[in-house]
Structure 1
Amino acid sequence: MKEKVSLFHRLLPLPFVSFLVAISWLMLGHSLDLFDILVAIILGIVIPKMIEPFLFSTPKIRWTLAFKLFFVVLWDIIISNIRVAKQVLGPSKNLHPKWFRVPLDSEHEHVNTLLAMIITTTPGTVSAGIDQERGDILVHALSTDDVDGEIDTIKQRYEQPLLAIFNVEQGDQT
């Protein structure tokens, strides 16, 4: 049996998001002209309807662990920026760039995609691609003498928390 949805909910499936979009448009335009108000209303209706399917298909995650990981990554970004600045401004003979592969403990697409994004976001490392068949991520480090240490750091600081955030057991394919 199909649930009856009110006209209000069909028009504004996410009223708070609609409000934020409309107000943001008005604030960006620094105007309360009739045209800008109409555009704000239209955007406030259209944009939430477009993003609604993405919002309700998000996986169940553990938010407290996600916030902890956010601050770990933020800290690592700050420290890495300082380290990379010293390396780049120092003698180039001190740089030891390396390519290496980080084996993945899961085939979970959200975990692996976020892991690749975190690697790329952290200065000094770039993920070049996720190889699903091999089950690893190809990573380039600006400078490292300890590839195994880099791999361990990535797995312990980022992959393990991501697996916990998404309630994924190692080897899970969902």
Structure 2
Amino acid sequence: MNRRPLFRRVFPSPSLSVMVTGFWVLMSDSFTLGQILLGMVLGVVVPLFAARLDREFARIGTLRPLPKLVCVTLWDILVSNIRVAIQVLGPERRIHPGFIWLPLDIANIHGIAALTSMITLTPGTVSAALSDDRRYLLVHVLHLEDPDALIKEIKRRYEAPLMEIFP
């Protein structure tokens, strides 16, 4: 009797099951047997539904750009926090919010998801929408001076390395 296929059918993503269970226990108000059991049930059920929803699997290219990309993102988050604090504490008339449509060269949905996450994690920018054809990303910027320069910077700092990671 082969137990592996049954295990994979019940637990399509064991790591996701563990994470869902762990987050449930951490987010619950009390650390009781009932909460742990409920977290375990969610840890079984959520990945089953997630496996049916996600039909596009992540293809990984090279991870070589990943360390630099992480450092660039952390640096941008730090610098943007300072920049946004100065803007918010300064005169309101000096803030010029706006939207830009960022044309995407990356086609991998997982790469697009990583890009939208990095943009949103950086204070002062928020990914607002993805076009139906996945070719444009709408980004809200707290202070927009030069849209073309911002597009070039996002493409160079984030999208280009992500295209190597997610071909």
State the alpha-carbon separation in 2 of the partners of residues 113 and 17 from structure 1: 17
Structure 1 stretches lacking a partner, 5+ long? 168-174
Partner of 1:30: 31
**Is 1:140 equivalent to 2:140 in the alignment?**
yes
Matched, 1:104 2:111: no
**Aligned counterparts of 1:130 and 1:37: Cα–Cα separation in 2:** 37
For 2:82, give the aligned amino acid. I
Shift in CA distance, 31/65, structure 1 to aligned 2, threshold 3 Å: same
8 Å CA contact retained: 1:13, 1:49: yes
Partner of 1:155: 155
Provide the residue aligned with 2:94 in structure 1: 94
Deviation at 1:14, TM superposition (A): 5.4
**By how many angstroms is 1:133 displaced?**
5.3
Comparing 83-92 and 18-27, the one that deviates more: 18-27
Unaligned runs of 5+ in 2: none
Name the CA distance, whole Å, in 2 between partners of 1:14 and 1:134.
26
- The Cα shift of 1:82 comes to 1.1
Deviations 1:10-61 (A, max 9, x none): 55555666566667767764345xx567556645544554455678963122
Provide the C-alpha distance between the structure 1 equivalents of 2:20 and 2:129, rounded to a whole number of angstroms. Answer: 34
User: RMSD over aligned Cα, in angstroms?
Assistant: 3.7
Q: How far apart, in 1, do the equivalents of 2:140 and 2:23 lie?
A: 39
CA distance in 2, matches of 1:23, 1:109: 26
Hey, what does 1:125 align to over in structure 2? 125
Q: How many residues align?
A: 163
TM-score, normalization: structure 1? 0.66
Instruction: Measure the CA separation in 2 of the matches of 1:89 and 1:108.
Output: 39
Q: Deviations over 1:108-137 (max 9, x none)?
A: 333333323322221112233223559322
Change (3 A) 1:50 1:121: same
Provide the C-alpha distance between the structure 1 equivalents of 2:111 and 2:96, rounded to a whole number of angstroms.
29
Residues 86 and 107 (structure 1 numbering): CA distance in 2 closer, same or farther, change over 3 Å?
same
Instruction: Provide, for residues 150-174 of structure 1, a one-character-per-residue CA deviation record: whole Å limited to 9, x for no partner.
Output: 111111011111111112xxxxxxx
Does 2:57 correspond to 1:58? yes
Q: TM-score, normalised on structure 2?
A: 0.69
Q: Percent identity?
A: 41
Alpha-carbon spacing, 1:124–1:22, altered in 2? closer, same or farther (3 Å): closer
One-letter code aligned to 2:58:
P
Q: Secondary structure at the match of 1:143?
A: coil
CA distance in 2, matches of 1:9, 1:134: 31
Whether the 8 Å contact between 1:99 and 1:139 is mirrored in structure 2 is yes
